[in-house]
Structure 1
Amino acid sequence: MDMFLLRTIISTIAFIIATNFELCFCGCARAEYEIDGECCPMCAPGNRVYWHCTIDTSTTCVPCPESTYTDEPNGLTKCFSCTVCDTVQHLKVKKACTRSADTICEPQEGFHCIKLNKESCELAVEHTECEPGQYIKQTGTAFTDTVCAGCTDGTYSNGSLTACLPHTKCETRGLTEIKAGTSSSDAECEKVTSVGLIVGVTTVLVAVVAVAILSAFIRHRKHKARCSKKSGVHRTLQEPTEDDERINVADSAEPTLINQC
């Protein structure tokens, strides 16, 4: 009984080994491909199959044509077409296509990738623009979007700054604040003249004008007084009488002009 059991176990193990040995040789090796029941050697990356192998010949390979590629060992009769970086998808060429590698695309400036295939970007979208009252906390890259953050009290940003700026303190500059700052705009200042200074300047001007008027009035009165005194001693030019006509012209008195005060 023990001998029978031993024979059964040995027979089972032999069957399993024989079955696995057959399975090991029923498929093609890792660097081969199967075609019409034959295992042919694969072509290297950058090449394609021109003729499949036969019992007597190996696989015949040829390089991929321009703008095509194969990036792995293969049994293909046709190479893959190189990817074109689509400007509509906001892409540009990072690395040009070769016979053994496809084109690698990357986002255009101001965009970031949202769909990646291996190392190449397939779709990009524009970076987020920070709004007024926010600053750029983290600048966008080819694979990450812009990160925005709000300004704290007493600071402001128009959305394009990497840090919020403090509001201007008008009083420290000797100015008066006419508009308070917000999170998106700075405070507005204005140079305001002191009321006391305005009153002082106005008073001085009025006094100067009053003195000038008074001086002019006094000069006018003095001038008028001098004219009144002189008017009594001056004679106006008179017409000659009949007696005067008989007097020699040489002995006649000189006419006196009126004093024009």
Structure 2
Amino acid sequence: MRLPWAASPCGLAWGPLILGLCGLLAASQAQLLPVKERPYHTENRTCGNWEKEYYEPKHQVCCSRCPPGTHVSVECSRSQNTVCAQCPENSYNEHWNHLSFCQLCRPCDQMLGFEETMPCTSRQKTQCRCQPGMFCVHWDMECVHCEPLSDCPPGTEAKLTDEVGVVNGNCVPCKAGHFQNTSSPRARCQPHTRCEEQGLVEAVPGTAQSDASCR
């Protein structure tokens, strides 16, 4: 039996085009990868995404972790994925997790020399830093408390850490061409005045403790 459109010139023109489109559609479908719906069974205790999944040994399945700001409300089973709930007020979880609870928000401890820079949210703990005039004492890469900065004598300045504008308790000499003439924990060495740039002549050269004098 011949189809009606196949007998006409228009039908002959459309036939190859339709076949080509069908071929492209079939090729695109062949490239699609199956998506694993959680929970899914695994023999080797290995999940596809350890950041967002975890292995549940009781049922030998991979289940979803809960995203930051949430905690596990109902544990996953062989047939049901993890159910998550929002962290209660004044608590947080910073990472993907399968915890049944959230961490308690804690204020910055002023007795240890800290002050708050950002409040606690459901996704982030309170952000703290040392109060002005204090520096951080680290233990195992973590700032555990702050101590007052010692006065750096003239000709020196407090050493900067890797954090912008943050100093520690060490005083270092001013580099060449700079001076510092006070005793202060936060004083910074300043460049010597360049007399020639002001159309003047240098009368007394600068030192680490004093600026240059011009005339």
TM-score normalised by L of structure 1: 0.43
Q: Which residue identity does 2:149 align to in structure 1?
A: H
Distance 2:82 2:188 in 1: 61
**Which aligned segments of 4 or more residues in structure 1 are displaced greater than 4 angstroms?**
160-163
Instruction: Give yes or no for the alignment of 1:59 onto 2:59.
Output: no
Q: 1:129-208 residue pairs with structure 2 within 5 A?
A: 129-130=151-152, 134-135=153-154, 137-139=156-158, 141-145=165-169, 147=171, 159-160=183-184
AA partner of residue 138 (structure 2): K
Report the number of matched residues: 134
Give the letter aligned to residue 85 of structure 1: C
- Contact persistence 1:111–1:142 (CA under 8 A): no
Shift in Å at residue 66 of structure 1?
1.6
| Structure 2 portions without partners, runs of 5+ | 1-41, 160-164, 175-179, 190-215
Where does residue 196 of structure 2 map in the other structure? none
Q: TM-score, normalised by structure 2?
A: 0.52
- 1:147 alignment partner, SS class: strand
**Helix, strand or coil for the counterpart of 1:144?**
strand
Q: Are positions 1:72 and 2:91 aligned together?
A: no
Tell me which residue corresponds to 1:126: 148
Greater helix content = 1
Structure 1's unaligned 5+ residue stretches are 1-23, 151-155, 164-261
Q: Percent identity?
A: 23
Give me the CA root mean square deviation.
3.3
Q: 1:83 to 1:116 in 2, by over 3 A?
A: farther
Which residue of 51, 58, 62 maps to 1:36? 58
Higher RCO structure, 1 or 2 (CA under 8 Å, sep 6+):
2
1:91 is aligned to 2:114: yes
Which structure carries more strand by proportion? Answer: 2
**2:123 pairs with 1:105:** no
In structure 1, distance between residues paired with 2:126 and 2:69: 13
> Which amino acid is the alignment partner of residue 135 of structure 1?
P
| Gap change, CA 1:83 and 1:28, over 3 Å in 2 | farther
The offset of 1:146, in angstroms, is 5.5
